[in-house]
Amino acid sequence: MVNRSAEFASLLCSRLCHDLLSPVGAFNNGLELLADETDPEMRERCMELLADSARASSAKLKFFRLAFGAAGGFGELIKTQDAFAALDGLHGPGGKVKLGWMVAAEALPKVAIKVLLNLALIAGDALVRGGQLDIAAEGNEIVIRAEGPRLVLDAELRNALLGHTDPDMISPRAAGAWLVHLLASEHGGEVQVSQPEEGVMMMGAILPD
């Protein structure tokens, strides 16, 4: 890889674009339907589709801004309430994944927020049929617990989280996992991931002060 930083940035962009494709595509479809529809009831349903798509797109952008971008400017701390709001917006009210938030600190270092959000994203995606996603942070430790009827963590993601992979072979879907590994390693920390057993999986990171 000639320019690893540029290549990794492109992987993160690819992941973001992939996740935004569905809600933005639904928004476009809703506009097309609205333009041709004359029935008042159907037009109302189109407007509901547009509103849902707009909310989903906005939620994903806010989440990825914190998880991948330089959100918060150049400050070293980010409010934990902003992280919770990003996660809550991603899953939405009535979603198949229920959130448990056990973070008492009002703010955490930007690195910790990025690690927390990316771990939560990976664990949430592993809950294929939904379930409970608990997020905790205390001191220099971050712990994510996922519990549900079906848990699937792809080997590529596990290997990326633990650094057991060739950086030149990272795919866009594993970009967030590799970011967690990089951030933890650069700050003298480590990432831990359990094997899903009886519908429960744990993952976390230790980030020295």
3-state helix, strand, coil in the chain (%, to 5): 55, 20, 25
Q: Report the interhelical angle of 40-67 vs 110-126 (nearest 10°).
A: 130
Give the whole-angstrom CA distance, residue 101 versus residue 113. Answer: 13
Tell me the torsion sign for CA atoms 133, 98, 138, 121.
positive
Task: Give the CATH number, domain containing residue 137.
Answer: 3.30.565.10
Domain that holds residue 153: 4-206
pLDDT tens, per residue, the chain with 209 residues: 345 666 777 777 777 777 777 777 777 777 887 778 778 888 888 888 888 888 888 888 889 889 887 655 545 899 999 999 999 998 877 789 999 999 999 999 999 999 999 999 999 999 999 999 999 999 899 999 999 999 999 999 999 999 998 888 889 889 999 999 999 999 999 999 998 888 999 999 999 86
pLDDT of 74 reads 45
Q: What is the pTM of this model?
A: 0.86
Which token pair is 159? 């290997």
pLDDT of 32 reads 80
State how many domains the chain has: 1
Give the whole-angstrom CA distance, residue 162 versus residue 22. Answer: 30
